[in-house]
Copies of this chain bind each other. A is one copy, B any other.
């Protein structure tokens, strides 16, 4: 494995784990020391993360963990609606991605029963990644992955607690059922409604947290 690529992965892991909080400044000197790499190598990784939207880079002011505000959240959900719904609506029957969706829903049910809400959250992301995989487009999946990662930062920022995802397990189930047994259009409509509710919940958390 490439050193730099592994560095990007390490940084990404800590970002989505919340160890590097949204808005936190990432000092080149400090992080270089912590990860035991040179400043130049670290800066290359920063450029990658910057393009992915996980960090902001302001010239001469350094990089900081992306800290999505409400308009960012709205924008992210706009992207989700366009991509996820369009993919689902145009998805073929019997796509292998459907099996991934099924596994994610099933696992989420089990995890919810076991009160393992962290796992529920992870499987929720798997479900939506599986939806986009129905497009058979690697580029769409990459862009979508970046957006989901950014949304994860939004959750962290306002501390959307994992167990709040509980109601959405059943919603995913309904989307899957509609895709399998009804029409793609119906499934896409259910998914759109899901995304609307999810967005409202996140924006509500922002309002409670008094964040822009």
Contact = CB atoms under 8 A, between A and B. Distances in A.
Given A48-B51, A51-B51, A51-B52, A137 B79 contact: yes
Interface string A139-151: 1100100010000
A87 interface: yes
A135 interface: yes
Contacts of A137: 75, 78-79, 82
Contacts of A70: none
A97 interface: no
Contacts of A85: 86
A58 to B, nearest CB: 9
A38 to B, nearest CB: 9
A53 interface: yes
A48 to B, nearest CB: 5
21 contacts: A40-B40, A40-B43, A43-B44, A44-B44, A47-B48, A47-B51, A48-B50, A51-B51, A51-B52, A53-B139, A75-B139, A78-B135, A78-B139, A78-B140, A79-B137, A81-B90, A82-B82, A82-B86, A82-B135, A83-B86, A85-B86
Nearest to A45: B47
Contacts of A59: 2, 5
Interface of A is mostly: helix
A59 B136 CA distance: 26
A76 interface: yes
Interface string A60-101: 000000000000000110110111011100100000000000
A138 interface: yes
Contact of A139 (B5, B79, B135): B79
A178 B33 CA distance: 58
Given A5-B59, A43-B44, A140 B82 contact: yes
